[in-house]
Structure 1
Amino acid sequence: MAVFTPVSLDDLTDWIEQFDLGRVLALRGISSGIENSNFFLTTEAGEYVLTIFEVLGFEQLPFYLHLMRHLADRGVLVPAPVPNRDGEILHALHGKPAAIVSKLDGSSQLSPGPAHCAAVGAMLARMHMAGQDFGIRQPNLRGLDWWHATAPRVLPFLSEANAHLLSTEIHHQEAFAASAVYRELPQGPIHADLFRNNVMFDGERLTGFFDFYFAGCDTWIFDVAVTVNDWCIDLDSGVLDEARVRALLDAYHAVRPFSEAERTAWQTMLRAGALRFWLSRLYDYHLPREAEMLTPHDPAHFERVLRERIARPAPPLF
């Protein structure tokens, strides 16, 4: 959620008239994140988030926006895209795709305890189940194919040890993706980026998941692994906190029981989740795009997480 495309109040004066939102009263860029240009938007009708999409195109975005609408209609706490008077939820601003969504209450919980992790686990399971009948299918665009395409671009920047780690882990994941166990894993739409800063809380009450713009269809257990790798670790070392892991997994399992195939895949999926974000952070760090207010994340964090997941097993799913 950086700002690659600046937007002013004057830019929105005429553009906002297609919505039943009244006049724009305030606009403020959001500095966190790395993919799109995001703004807090205040109008006479209330508070919203305006996003200009910098990477995803008009042909890809219906998946994300309609998924959010689908989940919201089924009681999952997510931002709802705001239609214009013609019922359209995907628009153009400065020649780029744009959307307005409702703003969630609360704030991000950056120091979660077991109760926060349990709330996240239960809502993630509800989200997976609610997405089963979503009619649009789009792959996880940061999955194995992207890993293969991106690794050669970052390898020249790595030490010999890290280049070896990246190459061997991709081979490990490739072999597992071809296995019979992998084919048995339940799949559907996933969030794929459910970090602490993409969830809102009011105290210990979860008020919503947001930033679905890395979502895609993939294994649900990969989504759980990505979530655990952020919510349930010591950020300095990457070591898992067993109490938080147990709270999140047990709450998820109570809503949607894990399968035996998922139990078998669990340790490998935790490694896959760490690999995905190590690779994307390497790319953003060494091959950055220009943007206002953008500070790339340190890729060394997920290198540590990946090495930690390889070195010692995590608590079991159930």
Structure 2
Amino acid sequence: MGVVTQVSLGKVNSLFPSYGFTKLEPTLSGIIDTTYIAHTKTSSYILKKYERDIPQKIAQDTKLLNELNAKGLNVPICLAQNQGWYLYKKLKGSQPKYVKSYHIQALARFLAKLHCTMATYKCTSNQIIEEEVLTALRYTKENYFGYYKRLEFLKHFSLKPDACIHGDIFKDNTIFDGKKIGVIDFIDSSCGTFAYDAAVALVGFDARVHHQYFINLFLNTYNQHAPKKITKKRLLYKMKVASHFYALKRVYTYKNTFRAQELLG
């Protein structure tokens, strides 16, 4: 999230005249796509402009969100679009500041239901992502050799698919209304394993800090409802892969070694 393309309140009201927006609030984090919160007198919405040439991906994302919503998953559906701007339902609640047991249980239930729904979705190769990892490793080797030695094992990185997964459920992609979880930002979903999707989420929810307790709690909840059970051994390995993958991404994409170090421990 964040703002790359500036837009005025008047322009937004001309794009979506039936809503009557009274306030436009830019978001502060992120650098890829433009995101505002648009307010009316009674409701709030997410206004987004994708700063990437991905029309087919956006269409797939819109269809996916509608289908997930119809299955009872709390995700933001697209309400309208005009001239490259997309208006989404804003989920009620806020991002968790401190992770508690009920966050982990809600996360596990959401992922189990998501994976049951996604198990029938066809998906294609992750060759592009795998090639990007190799490119990022070459860059890191040339510019941050100390980090490269810790990340080198990712040269064998592969997302052999179970189905389409979210793949980026960090805390800032979740919304909690009490104990009810909502998940946002499916635009970069891709093929992968359910174990990897779970691992990313646990890394994003700081499960390593509470290691055994949160991981056991997640697995006990997830495996009751999931289409395919995950063993603890497999999950721990996938958590290592996920933390190193996102550390590499922070070094390569954002040149941020401090935040990479957070993930490497």
Following TM superposition, by how much is the alpha carbon of 1:263 offset from its aligned partner in structure 2, in angstroms?
Answer: 5.5
AA matched with 2:236: Q
* TM-score, L = length of structure 1: 0.75
2:172 paired with 1:197: yes
AA matched with 1:12: V
2:161 paired with 1:162: no
Distance 1:191 1:70, change over 3 A: same
Q: How many residues are aligned here?
A: 265
Alignment partners' CA distance in 2, 1:2 and 1:278: 21
Following TM superposition, by how much is the alpha carbon of 1:300 offset from its aligned partner in structure 2, in angstroms?
Answer: 3.3
AA matched with 2:162: Q
Distance 1:9 1:206, change over 3 A: same
Match of 2:25 among 23, 28, 38: 28
The aligned counterpart of 1:285 is 254
Distance 1:276 1:255, change over 3 A: same
1:118-151 per-residue CA deviation (whole Å, 9 max, x = no partner) reads: 111111110111123346x355587322212332
1:266-302 per-residue CA deviation (whole Å, 9 max, x = no partner) reads: 333112211221122112323xxxxxxxxxxx44344
AA matched with 2:130: L
Distance 1:49 1:7, change over 3 A: same
Alignment partners' CA distance in 1, 2:198 and 2:15: 39
SS at match of 2:35: strand
Alignment partners' CA distance in 1, 2:125 and 2:91: 27
AA matched with 1:170: L
The aligned counterpart of 1:243 is 213
Match of 1:273 among 238, 242, 251: 242
Alignment partners' CA distance in 1, 2:172 and 2:253: 18
AA matched with 1:75: G
Moved more, 41-50 or 270-279: 41-50
Q: Which ranges of structure 2 fall in alignment gaps of 5 or more residues?
A: none
SS at match of 2:16: helix
Distance 1:122 1:149, change over 3 A: same
2:238 paired with 1:305: no
Distance 1:52 1:75, change over 3 A: same
Contact 1:131 1:189 (C-alpha < 8 Å) held by counterparts:
yes
2:192 paired with 1:218: yes
1:192-246 per-residue CA deviation (whole Å, 9 max, x = no partner) reads: 111111111123x12411121221121111100101112143xxxx645322222
The percentage of counterpart residues that share the same residue type is: 21
Q: Which ranges of structure 1 fall in alignment gaps of 5 or more residues?
A: 84-89, 287-297, 309-318
Match of 1:39 among 26, 36, 40: 36
Distance 1:7 1:117, change over 3 A: same
Distance 1:104 1:130, change over 3 A: same
The aligned counterpart of 1:252 is 222
The aligned counterpart of 2:87 is 100
SS at match of 2:78: coil
Alignment partners' CA distance in 1, 2:258 and 2:128: 19
Following TM superposition, by how much is the alpha carbon of 1:304 offset from its aligned partner in structure 2, in angstroms?
Answer: 4.8
Alignment partners' CA distance in 2, 1:139 and 1:3: 31
Alignment partners' CA distance in 1, 2:128 and 2:188: 8
The aligned counterpart of 1:147 is 133
SS at match of 1:133: coil
* TM-score, L = length of structure 2: 0.88
